[in-house]
Amino acid sequence: MPRTLVLASSSPYRRAILDKLHLNYQVCKPEIDEQARPQETAEQLVKRLATEKAKAVVQRQPQFADAVVIGSDQVALCDNEILGKPHNETNAVAQLQRFVGKTVTFLTGLCVYDAANDSCDVVCVPFYVHFRDDLSDAELRRYVELEQPLNCAGSFKSEGLGISLFKSLQGDDPNTLIGLPSIELLRMLRRLHINPLAGDNSLA
C-alpha cells in the first residue's frame, strides 16, 4: 500500500517544490514554539525545529500515525548573526544594505519522520548567496519597491527579481534556498520506498 506523505508546513514555496516532484501529499500546519534555546547554534536550531514540526503533526493528527512526514526549517545568517524578517520597506532596505559585498548563508534543516517506526532522518543543508559589491542604495530601494520581500528572512526572493542582487550562488541544490532541499529529500524518501519515478508514492 502507498504510504501517506505529509508536509508539515503551510509554506506555498515548499508546496510548489513538492508539486514539481510529482509527489502525492497532504498538508498540515505544525503549531510549535520556534524560539531558539540558550547556546543553541543555528544548525542545531533548524534541525531541532524541522524534527519538532514533523512530530507535532503526528501528535495532533492521529490519522497520520503511520505517515511519512516532512519537516523543514530555515535560517539566514550574515556575519554569524541570524537574520529576521524585515516586515517593512525601511527595514528591508537596511538589511540589504548590510549585505553588499558579503555572503549570506542559508541553513535548512530537513527531517523525514517515519511515524510508523518513530524514526527520523535529519540533515542540515547549507547554501551561500554572494551579494554584488556594486549595489547602489537606489537599486536596493527599487528592488524592495518592486518585489516587497517583507516576509522573507534576508529581504529578498531568490526565485524572483532577487537574483539581480547576487554575484553568485553556491550550493548543491537550488531548492535549498527556497526552503526544501529536494536532492536530500528524495534520497530520504527512497529509503522509505517512496520514489516519484517508480509511481505515486509506490515501492522503489
As a whole number of angstroms, the distance between CA 68 and CA 64 comes to: 8
Active site (annotated) includes residue 73? yes
For 105, the grid coordinates are 548563508
Handedness of CA 193, 176, 43, 52 (dihedral sign): negative
Choose, from 19, 33, 66, 73, the residue flagged as catalytic: 73
As a whole number of angstroms, the distance between CA 9 and CA 53 comes to: 8
- Of the candidates 109, 108, 101, the one whose C-alpha atom is nearest the C-alpha of residue 168 is 101
As a whole number of angstroms, the distance between CA 94 and CA 187 comes to: 39
The SS3 of residue 169 is: strand
Q: Report the catalytic residues.
A: 73
